[in-house]
Every structure is written in C-alpha cells, then in structure tokens.
Structure 1
Amino acid sequence: MLASSVRHDGRSAATSEAVYPDLCARRVFITGGGSGIGAALVEAFVRQGAHVAFVDINADVSHALVDRIRDLGPAPWWRRCDVTDVHSLQQAITDAAQALGALDVLVNNVGSDDRHALEDVTPVYWEQRIGINQRAAFFAIQAVVPGMRRQGRGSIINLGSTGWQTKNAGYPCYAMAKSSMNGMTRGMAKSLGEHRIRINVLSPGWVMTERQRMLWLTAESEKELMENQCLPDKIMPADIASMALFLASDASRACTAQEFVVDAGWT
C-alpha cells in the first residue's frame, strides 16, 4: 500500500514509500506537529496505523490537520502547547501516555528558523530561541525515557538541520541550537542503549514547506538550490517523514547515535 500526495512539480509522490507493520498500534509523540514537516510526520505515522499524539502552539492549523486526516487511521491526540514552557510540555507527554499507552517513539520536530542578526540578540530573545530549538528536545526526552525503560525499547528522533553545516548566515542562535542536536544525541546514546532505546538525528536540507516557499523561496535562491543539490527535485515534507518512519521502526533496530541527512546531496 502506498499513500500518495502531490509534489511541488505536479507529479505524484509517496507520503510513505513503505509500510512498516511494527509501527501499527505503536504510540508516537511529535512536537510541533500542526504544520510543515510536523504535519507530514503526523500524517505518515497515522497512515501506518500508529497512535499519534502531537503538540503545537497553533490551534487552527492543528484542528485543520486532524480534520483532514481523520479517515486515514487512528485519530491523533493533540494539545495546544508552548514548548518553551517545560512543565506544560512534560505534562502533555504524561497525559498523552495516559491516554494512548506508554510511548514508543518521540520525534523532537519543533523548531523555528526565524532570521536574526548577531548584534540584535538579547538575552530574552536568546532564551526564547534556545527554548524552542534545543531545550524542548532535552526535556521531552527526559519525560519519555522512564516509560521507554520500563518497556525495554524506544526510538527517539531529534530533528537537526543542515543549515549550520552549510554555514548559512542569518540565524546564529538557530544554528547553535540545531548543531547541539548531534552532541546531545551522541551524549545520550550509550546510557539509553542499555535499555534498547535508540536515539538518532534526522537532518533535513531545504524542505519546501509552505512557510519556506512564502518567506524565502525566490528565483535566485531556487537557482542556488538547484546548483548545490545533487538531485534535481525539491525536498518535500513527506521525504523527511519517510526517513522518520524508518528510524522509528524495527527496520532500524541497529541504528543509534547517528545522523541521517535528507538534503538531496547538498552537504
């Protein structure tokens, strides 16, 4: 069974290229699941038959997503949540586990690549950027690990970025926070691995979400993209979701402490 969607160029593309039977009925928690890559993740896991919980700060897009995918699989559990509020985030994870059962998969997807100049960053702004792009991932992991330990298994997927690897300018706080996903992942892998909890980084390239197209895709930047990517097709949110499904499933049972890059060969 293939679940299809429409690509940017009008051709059909698989939202989920493969079916992973072990993901059926698994419990998955996704941060920032209401739109963009997050929405593609929610839909992809629902199509697999997984029980999905997600949080997002935007209630309107989250409601719309749930309505759109209601016939594709189990209805997602979701809650409006500002992930910079650690207590609220961890409470949402606790409540989702109570509603769905012990969580098997955590996808730390939430992020914000708002542009900012070095000289304009204040301590308050720095804390906000770190709160979204780094701290939320750490404390989400802290909240799910006890349940995963009791089960003797789990998969944690931290969304990284290739932006800092290609030395993109314009978001130093974001670059710093996203680069730390690699260090955090490798720093936790050994202790988590003792309980068969796997932890990996999934680093997207330039993904053509609605936000990216609206804010930063121009004729000039599209030309740069085509010059730097090895593959001529734009990366879509479904491409990131496909890798996440693999990392969540038992098909990747021997993969941990690694970075998996989906950037059409740019880096």
Structure 2
Amino acid sequence: MDFTTRYKADAIKDSTIFITGGASGIGAAMAERCAELGAHVMIGDINATLGEALATKLRNSSGNPHHYFIETDVSSFTSLSAAFTTALSLSPSNHIHHVIANAGITDSTSLTELPPSPTAPCPPPPTSTLTINLLGVFFTTRLALHHFRLNHHTEDAHLLLVGSMASFLESPPMMAQYTASKHGVLGLFHSLRLSAGDQAPAQFRVNMLCPYFIDTPILPTKAKLLLAGVELAKKEDAVDAVVRLCAVRAARGRCVVVAPRSAGGVQEMDWEELKEIEPFTGRVVGLIRAGGTVRKAVRLVGDVGRLAGWMWVAGALAAMVMGMTVMAMR
C-alpha cells in the first residue's frame, strides 16, 4: 500500500465511525478529522468531561448534529455492549461502518519492583493496562463482529485495531504491561486476518495501526524523559493513515506502522515481514537511531528543558562545564 499516493478521503462521508478512547490524544484527532470529512462520529470514552466537550465541538464546527459522546468503559463488556447499542440507535443509518479499537493506557510500574525482603508477602502486579489495552480490544472486536452482521452487503464493515511499535519491540521492565498488551493485539490481528470466523459478515475487513511514540497524554513523563532527544512520530501522520484505511475499501489485512519521518514515516509491514518481524523492526529502529548526533543533542536539551524545567537544564549544564574544567586542570 503506497501511502504517498492520493486517495478519496471523503469516501467516509455519511459513514458511522465508533472510536473507543476517542476523547483525547490520537483518538480525538481521529474524531476531528473524520468529522471534517463528513462522517458521523461516535466517541466512546470513560472521560465524560472531555468526551462531551469534543462532541459539542464537532457538532458546532461541522454543522452535523450526528456526532455523539457515549460514556464507555472498555474493560467492562456490559458497558461496551451498551455503548454499541447506543451508537447503533444514534447512527443515521442504524449501522456502524467502522470500529476503531483505540482505547489504551500505560503504567510505568516495573514488573521487577519487588518487596525489599524475599520473605515479605508479594503484592500482585498492576493489570489495568492489560485489561484495557488487550481485554478491551477483545471485547471491542467481538461486539464489532456481532454488529457488523446488520450491515447491508454493499456497506463497509471495518475493524481497525490500534497496536503500537511496542507490538514488535523489546522493552524495559517499566513497560512490561504495555508491551505485553500490544503484542497481544498483534496476535489477535494475526488470527482475524486469516479468518474472522463462520459468523462474521462476508465483507468484514480488519487492519492494524502501529504508531511509534507520539506526544500524547498516554505517554508518561518518565517515558518522555527517556525519549528526550529522539524524534517522535507525528500525530497527523497516524490520523491520515487511519482515514486512508477507512476510506480505501480494498485495504484488508494491512499492518501499518507510523514511524518518525526520518525513519520512513507511514509504511506498511507486508505479510512476509509479519512472519519475521525482526528484520523490519531492526531496519526502522536503525533508521531512528541513525539520526544526526547534533540534531539529537539539540532536541535532547529542548525536550528535557520542556519536561524538567529550564533551570534544571541550566544547572546540569553548569555542573557539566565545571566538571570538564576540573578535569582539564588535572
């Protein structure tokens, strides 16, 4: 799939798109772009304040009254099932054409953080990230397949799973939950890509989006500090990839990576690469790491200054200069 070619983005006009985790971050950016193109957007999220505000904004900016917020907890099948039912009732066509399983969180608690004493009771690890990022996607997938059966054979029935570059990469213990959940989403995609099951609609299609790190609320400060100086992927590239996958009905079984632009930007991982992902990820990560040293150093100072404060950066630089002076005097 060539992401440099033009496509008819307005092909999603009048379609109903249900986005989980659609009240903030990439999900909100997806919602805004889809509304601009004339789609009817259903925002499923647990954050009612952000969700209602975004739905109101979309209605006012587009002049389309069919943008709604639906309070949704993807970790609860009951809540998610009710959200799908509501989305169907609010859809002008009484159908849902695209479901974007985007809801996700992260937790920087390390799996290897254990009690000081080996004789002390070991508390259970946090599992909220696994529950929302993986179980929530399983729930979303099941309900999407169920409701897609209502669609007429001429209508689209598209499920887009949002994974991550963490679906392929190794990660430190502080990202164990997140990485495990995104590996799980990739495994689900593998299964759905081969067969959606006997009860799935014939026209059902599935794709997967795997962004590299993007500066959104899901990225914790610890991770931002670790990534200081590293070029991030662009939110607008991810959104354009989503719209393309929704608009181009020939897009089936595609796994699309959104890398930093210096590492190729939006690109497809083909099926052979999906079988052996190490060559692909090695190539992309190698390109990311190959960025100019000076450019990365400048970005590092800017990122750390923004996150930790410029006084902290000034103090660190002063200490560095003092240390170099002392070394030179020896």
**CA 1:164–1:96 in structure 2 vs 1: closer, same or farther (change >3 Å)?**
closer
The alpha-carbon deviation at position 188 of structure 1 amounts to 1.5
The residue type equivalent to 1:254 in the other structure is A
List 4+ stretches of structure 1 deviating above 4 A: 120-124
Q: Which has the larger radius of gyration?
A: 2
The residue type equivalent to 2:157 in the other structure is G
Q: Are residues 1:179 and 2:183 paired?
A: yes
CA distance in 1, matches of 2:254, 2:42: 25
Q: Would you say how many aligned residue pairs link Structure 1 and Structure 2?
A: 239
Aligned ranges for residues 62-211 of structure 1 at < 5 Å?
A: 62-73=51-62, 74-75=64-65, 76-100=67-91, 101-120=94-113, 123=124, 125-126=126-127, 128-151=128-151, 152=153, 153-169=156-172, 170-192=174-196, 195-210=202-217
Structure 2 spans left out of the alignment, 5+ residues: 1-5, 115-122, 264-283, 286-330
Higher strand share: 1
Q: Are residues 1:261 and 2:257 paired?
A: yes
CA distance in 1, matches of 2:97, 2:43: 14
The alpha-carbon deviation at position 139 of structure 1 amounts to 1.2
The residue type equivalent to 1:22 in the other structure is A
Query: Does the aligned pair in 1 maintain the 2:166–2:183 contact within 8 Å?
Result: no
The residue type equivalent to 1:136 in the other structure is G
State, as a whole percentage, how many aligned pairs show the same letter: 24
Deviation per CA, 1:138-168, whole angstroms, max 9, x where unpaired? 1112112133234234111100011253322
Please report the TM-score for the alignment, with normalisation by the length of structure 1: 0.80
CA distance in 1, matches of 2:136, 2:201: 24
The residue type equivalent to 2:27 in the other structure is G
Q: Are residues 1:221 and 2:224 paired?
A: no
The residue type equivalent to 2:159 in the other structure is I
RMSD value, Cα: 2.4
CA distance in 2, matches of 1:134, 1:142: 13
Match of 1:13 in 2: none
Segment of structure 1 superposing worse, 237-246 or 184-193? 184-193
**CA 1:236–1:116 in structure 2 vs 1: closer, same or farther (change >3 Å)?**
same
The residue type equivalent to 2:21 in the other structure is G
Please report the TM-score for the alignment, with normalisation by the length of structure 2: 0.66
Deviation per CA, 1:67-111, whole angstroms, max 9, x where unpaired? 333333234211222211111011101111121021000000011
Deviation per CA, 1:181-210, whole angstroms, max 9, x where unpaired? 121112122433861211111001111225
Point out which structure has higher relative CO (alpha carbons under 8 A, 6+ apart).
1
**CA 1:194–1:60 in structure 2 vs 1: closer, same or farther (change >3 Å)?**
closer
Query: Does the aligned pair in 2 maintain the 1:94–1:143 contact within 8 Å?
Result: no
Q: Are residues 1:52 and 2:41 paired?
A: yes
Segment of structure 1 superposing worse, 114-123 or 83-92? 114-123
